[in-house]
Structure 1
């Protein structure tokens, strides 16, 4: 993403195969170099080769590869890295049988599953009535015997919840129901389940948890109002039934799914490294109004996770519902503290923060006094057979979003089925420039020059273009944020936009203005930091140096703040009305909602739930104005307002303990709305990255300027090194033609399946009967009647679906 989101990322750093007929092919040409997968900005990117859990790439069920090149094995090792997906074993190991243990009583049944509880330990078991498979919240006696655990871990694994609490000195301690001498204060049957009030004498606290079945799955709910704390300790977080589905080492074949980037897997194995830390994904990012930018970790935009016990055999998918505004997804790989793999939701009740007491930054550690808002709830659905893998999880999650009205009712695509795919082309209009007495503006692309660029692309046969203007406001893209009303004269002013808009409407090109309601820059005419910027829990403004350390020191005085969601909603409503008056029918949000934060300003105090509602109202305001809203990496609560999805994640952070990267988010979104890859001219290996985009079904996107990039050298956008259209025009036309030839066959279809027949070879099947094959390797690949050239992709009709 350009500019605002890039700066926020920088800020966070500071702070089986069937035959068929080939109908279209993208040929990238043979290459000996395997290329480099793009890492998520600011994320940990230590790629680890964890060995192949399936085929070795030499052959698979009679599918032959062309003779290996001398460096073939080195290349195949590259595709064993966690930046790609490994093939599944041709023969899956058996899944150990599980049964309903003695002492468990039935407490619910919904036709799909049966729920049992041990009313002495409050452990639960969940049985899939279709397959008979049993999921347990406590590891088996065999696993306990095999594992050398200290008393705390033994207690934790047998407890209905893990709990963190703050002592009087604000020191945070992790414990559990059993270690805290827990007992049931009350227990009562509810519809298809049980409600238990737990008493924790060691910290003089109580809390109530409901566990029950509804028509679709298992629901576990913590009643927020039930939390009572009579002693000096205060509850910090709760994880309910955290060991549901846990696996000891490689005793069960399968994996954990974590919602990192596009999606990632942690396969179960006995052969693994020792790891220092678990995966902790904060849903909607850290609340910077509490934590600041220090210690920013992984961000979860779609609160879903899963466990597979035998690929295409048994799976459990969890979806965080109530309380997700203040929750994390935590996954422990085997090798962190114990040899168990486990994953759960950690609901935050209170958070720690630092309270300065002097200008020299002395201070004390504290924690928020009030509990986070609302009940906390996680839902579990069971999957079996061919649906029991990450693809089935994505399809289940997509159905969940649809059922709950969280997806747009109809696709926002401007393309017809079978027509050309859309291309996103953003043009940078103007940027702030240095000056002796005051700063000026550097013109990079006028409205007239933007039209000339679009005309050139149309002549090249690119008919479906979605064009955006960055830096259209007065003083350029950085000069005034949020952008002030009006259009920069240096690029043609209001009349220039009018002329461009007339052209785009005549030619059927979509035109939008890129805007943002997250950053507030000191000196912006529409807002004032003390009134409109977010205040932290310690009453300080969230202030940071807006320009990154690698950009010119000429702007080191440029201070950035986070715009209050309340102000953001008011400004957006006004701007959207003006956009419509000016003839526009689209807009784009660059980073609004990228971080979800509270606001402790006493005049308009907001918690994260209210902030999310205000961001949602921005989408509702766009709908009132009949304005299509293109959103960059929208959080789940913004999806229903999006006409298009910008900057689709095409990789994971590749943490050392992950074994595979998978396209979970694209599987959810394909066929719902058009989505686009990040800017292609930012990629280190355009050929490889285009293949990745094709595999993930992402449309191409580019950021260009009329003027040469060197003119940005002494501006806040000095990090943009290669944008001149004249340099990029041939490559843009080439990449678009190749992507379009394949993706136009499937652009409005949904992803029905995905398989990896061999290392570096992927087959993605769509519900319209077309499959997209991608060959990342430097050797041609043959499967039945299908041949996919080295470093290329092909769309194939018919044949066996994965």
Structure 2
């Protein structure tokens, strides 16, 4: 797909999202009690503050009455904070919070079910302890539940902290076990792969355990669901809403393009970097955070808003066991539909951590996830405190331009010019820089990968690169060389696409072709293959030795941090779980030789290896059913690792983007070139349409000065509270007592005897 086509498509999608979302979001959110603090600015409540790219104020609600545990349920286990109840056949469970008395149930209340006009399928599903998808004898995907599949509970046995049930799906001749147990403030649900038996012709495609835990009918309970879309998003419970066409189906760590068909560059979705989801029953009253622990690499987060099939809001993990695919049998694309013969052999486990009181909201969930990662030694306190915040400066050196006969190289930034650019910014007051240099080798940015050497002579060669590295090091500026261990551009560095490239589930070599011109027929420029993760880890280990010998101590990983693919090569199959393990080895071997490893949009399994995180999402995908965007990701990370926003010089509204970066505690980033951007018009980097350093240096210095004035005081602190005081006015409270108040409005507002200017922010609180 051409970049022009993509731009038009994205523009249309943005327009559809905006005009589709606005009519439903406006008026459906009730104003918070705190909104009266800004009554003098009611006329300023523009529509832009109420769309789902922002967060709405919370409304105080009366205490939600707890459900009663029916007489037919028996106590199966208890911990210090929770009690677990089950019916006789473990078709449903209840969890009681011993401190608050609140009760969570895996099935909705019977009164609501009776009132709803449900078809037979959903009548059975809402009363089921699980939902399954399976392939029948004709390879057609079907759905079923406990009742519809004529299931029985063969056995219920006691296990430490809980119970384990064996279910027999008589209609499919399938059995599997589900274990539920308590661990302090958490419910752990586990499906062991070894206990699963498929004896009939039908084969399982997916399982959703306890899908209706905490399900809510329309807005009978105030609250929302949390989904890990980009920075994070909420789906609030509403009485009136559109009739949505589909639910949220979030693929954890993105789509597996080796198993699921898609255009690799046509999907305009924010990434899912964390396997989490959540539910709140009354903000500040009751909630839970779900964390997928095992089986996460082939899992999805499902969230149904009211209006899709039923009037219930519900969310759950969906564990994928098999994929459907099309198997070609001839070159003219003849073939047949089939499915993965061998299921993904992985255990599956999800942990539900329950909240009450002040922590029962998305902020409390993010703090819980932060503590969870700390306990696993994934997040660690920063070893060095800095006086000023960093600014990410990404430079493009060499790029290739295809011609009628061969390629020519376009020199955009030499090593000498890079040093001059850094010096100029530092002289203008940018005190702390982090520099990534892309296109530093002789093949340019889109040249010879996985071969990365030698250093491009056009840019000054290896000697000048090392001089640049030393000069920046003396200024306290790390120089990251960009490296990609995922993409391969044909046969080079002994890479063979057929032998070393990732194979799809239909045993084809996975590839993607980038087109320079308007349509595919005009000019096919670059075919990209994908490196087997095990080979990638070996390459990185070898490269680390060579970089170490050169004196390079910082690398920045591109697609390797976020693109996770399985490999279906007949002689070397690899699951996504195994691929993630290889990428961990890869990052570990680099970090063993490097002082810094930066990663672009890293999935959470690479967070422990990431010295800095680049292009972290500040928005959600803004689906129709999402009502709010929230900084769940940033609340979890702030104070433990430096994370940078996507490039500010490619944002359509610089002032609002500045406010979003400050509010989310994200540091600024810019993609820059020493030469004018028009020189890239005939290259695959023609999307860098505004990268000319001379055009941006003043704006960069000004933005940095504004952001550094407030963020430098909280860069090592954690985010402890985030209060939306009214539409377009946000207070962020840090662990050191500092508060940042961001005013998106077009008029000044008052805050604790201070004035927050329009479209601006202030620092308050603390010593």
Pairwise same-fold verdict (TM > 0.5): yes
Distance 1:98 1:192, change over 3 A: same
Q: How far apart are 1:211 and its partner, in Å?
A: 1.0
* Distance in 1, Cα, partners of 2:684 & 2:613: 26
- Equivalent residue, structure 1, for 2:156: 187
* Distance in 2, Cα, partners of 1:390 & 1:667: 9
**Aligned mate of 1:78, from 42, 48, 62:** 48
Distance 1:39 1:261, change over 3 A: farther
* Distance in 2, Cα, partners of 1:322 & 1:539: 27
Distance 1:181 1:596, change over 3 A: same
Task: Report matched runs for 1:494-643 at 5 Å.
Answer: 494-547=462-515, 550=518, 556-643=524-611
* Distance in 1, Cα, partners of 2:396 & 2:415: 10
**Structure 1 stretch 285-294 or stretch 105-114: which is displaced more?**
285-294
* Distance in 1, Cα, partners of 2:529 & 2:641: 32
Structure 2 residue ranges without an equivalent (≥5): none
- Equivalent residue, structure 2, for 1:694: 662
Q: How far apart are 1:761 and its partner, in Å?
A: 0.3
Answer whether contact 1:521 1:546 (CA < 8 A) is retained.
no
Task: Report matched runs for 1:385-400 at 5 Å.
Answer: 385-400=357-372
**Aligned mate of 1:383, from 343, 355, 361:** 355
* Distance in 1, Cα, partners of 2:516 & 2:223: 42
Distance 1:176 1:336, change over 3 A: same
Q: Deviations over 1:126-158 (max 9, x none)?
A: 001110000000100221122111121111111
Q: How far apart are 1:54 and its partner, in Å?
A: 6.0
Q: How far apart are 1:383 and its partner, in Å?
A: 0.3
Structure 1 residue ranges without an equivalent (≥5): 1-5, 15-35
Answer whether contact 1:192 1:213 (CA < 8 A) is retained.
yes
What is the TM-score of this pair, normalised by structure 1? 0.91
**Aligned mate of 1:287, from 256, 259, 267:** 256
* Distance in 2, Cα, partners of 1:716 & 1:56: 47
- Tell me if 1:63 matches 2:37: yes
Distance 1:727 1:65, change over 3 A: farther
Q: Deviations over 1:248-271 (max 9, x none)?
A: 000000000000010000000111
- Tell me if 1:243 matches 2:217: no
* Distance in 2, Cα, partners of 1:639 & 1:127: 34
* Distance in 2, Cα, partners of 1:210 & 1:549: 55
- Tell me if 1:704 matches 2:648: no
* Distance in 1, Cα, partners of 2:758 & 2:332: 61
- Equivalent residue, structure 2, for 1:771: 739
Answer whether contact 1:53 1:87 (CA < 8 A) is retained.
no
**Aligned mate of 2:70, from 101, 115, 119:** 101
Q: How far apart are 1:627 and its partner, in Å?
A: 3.2
* Distance in 1, Cα, partners of 2:707 & 2:518: 34
- Equivalent residue, structure 1, for 2:374: 402
Task: Report matched runs for 1:163-562 at 5 Å.
Answer: 163-294=132-263, 299-407=271-379, 409-411=380-382, 415-416=385-386, 419-547=387-515, 550=518, 556-562=524-530
- Tell me if 1:162 matches 2:131: yes
Answer whether contact 1:54 1:88 (CA < 8 A) is retained.
no
* Distance in 2, Cα, partners of 1:338 & 1:701: 44
* Distance in 2, Cα, partners of 1:608 & 1:270: 40
Q: How far apart are 1:603 and its partner, in Å?
A: 3.5
* Distance in 2, Cα, partners of 1:43 & 1:411: 39
Distance 1:327 1:549, change over 3 A: farther
* Distance in 1, Cα, partners of 2:602 & 2:519: 28
* Distance in 2, Cα, partners of 1:368 & 1:168: 13
- Equivalent residue, structure 1, for 2:26: 51
* Distance in 2, Cα, partners of 1:83 & 1:755: 16
Structure with more contact order per residue of length (Cα contacts < 8 Å, sep ≥ 6): 1
Answer whether contact 1:39 1:652 (CA < 8 A) is retained.
no
Answer whether contact 1:252 1:268 (CA < 8 A) is retained.
yes
* Distance in 2, Cα, partners of 1:627 & 1:559: 33
Q: How far apart are 1:522 and its partner, in Å?
A: 2.2
**Aligned mate of 1:715, from 667, 683, 686:** 683
Q: How far apart are 1:436 and its partner, in Å?
A: 4.0
Q: Deviations over 1:208-236 (max 9, x none)?
A: 11111123411111111111122110111
SS in 1 for 2:331: coil
What is the TM-score of this pair, normalised by structure 2? 0.95
* Distance in 2, Cα, partners of 1:732 & 1:39: 27
* Distance in 2, Cα, partners of 1:595 & 1:132: 43
Q: Deviations over 1:109-133 (max 9, x none)?
A: 1111000000135200000111000
SS in 1 for 2:389: coil
**Structure 1 stretch 557-566 or stretch 342-351: which is displaced more?**
557-566
Q: How far apart are 1:602 and its partner, in Å?
A: 2.9
Answer whether contact 1:753 1:764 (CA < 8 A) is retained.
yes
Distance 1:550 1:752, change over 3 A: farther
* Distance in 2, Cα, partners of 1:588 & 1:554: 34
SS in 2 for 1:386: helix
Q: How far apart are 1:67 and its partner, in Å?
A: 4.8
Q: How far apart are 1:46 and its partner, in Å?
A: 5.5
